[in-house]
Structure 1
């Protein structure tokens, strides 16, 4: 009986954590979209608007996807200096800041991606950015 109670509590706790993570991710997405709308079509970095940066994937030179841009981050001078990237296939979702310096754009059809010179291991080794609680 105790095992069932313990298992039930564990499932409830995991569900609550998952709900909090989803709420934090939703809040982040809304804030990023609002910022992109306010910034408008003007280039923010790399010749791309904030909205275009948010639509981009972070890829290696061979096209392998490393992550999705979740937020455009500006420094004290109000210039974009890094991107908050959700690392591909991380579970639970893991976010890191990737410096804008060294990134290049590549366009394939209607898609624009950001190519990094960093390796997948270097991206994975970047410090994790915890999303603020919703």
Structure 2
């Protein structure tokens, strides 16, 4: 009986954590979209607007997707110096800061991707960025 109770508590706790993670991700997405709207069509970095940067995927030199841009981050000088990227296929979702320096754009039809020389393992080795609680 006790084991069943503990199992139920564990499931409830995991569900609550998942709900908190989803709420934090929703909050991040809304903040990023608001920032992009306020910034407008003006190029923020790499000749792209904030909205275009948010729509871009981070890909390796081999063209394989490494992550999705979740937020454009500006330094003290108000210039974009890094991107908050959700690592592809991470479970639970894992976020890292990727420096803008060294990234290049690659246009494929209507899509624009950001190309890095970093490998999947180098991206995964970057320090994790914890999302603030909702």
Q: Name the TM-score class by shorter chain.
A: over 0.9
**Distance in 1, Cα, partners of 2:30 & 2:94:** 18
What's 2:34 paired with?
34
Q: Which stretches of structure 1, 4 residues or longer, exceed 6 Å deviation after superposition?
A: none
Question: Displacement of 1:26 after TM fit?
Answer: 0.1
What's 1:101 paired with?
101
What's 1:111 paired with?
111
TM-score (norm 2): 0.99
Secondary structure in 1 aligned to 2:34? helix
What's 1:78 paired with?
78
**Distance in 1, Cα, partners of 2:21 & 2:28:** 10
Question: Displacement of 1:14 after TM fit?
Answer: 0.1
TM-score (norm 1): 0.99
In structure 2, stretches of 5+ residues that fail to align are none
What's 1:133 paired with?
133
Question: Displacement of 1:62 after TM fit?
Answer: 1.4
**Distance in 2, Cα, partners of 1:96 & 1:52:** 19
**Distance in 1, Cα, partners of 2:133 & 2:24:** 6
What's 1:20 paired with?
20
Secondary structure in 2 aligned to 1:77? coil
Cα RMSD after superposing both structures: 0.4
Question: Displacement of 1:84 after TM fit?
Answer: 0.1
Secondary structure in 1 aligned to 2:90? coil
What's 2:55 paired with?
55
**Distance in 2, Cα, partners of 1:15 & 1:116:** 35
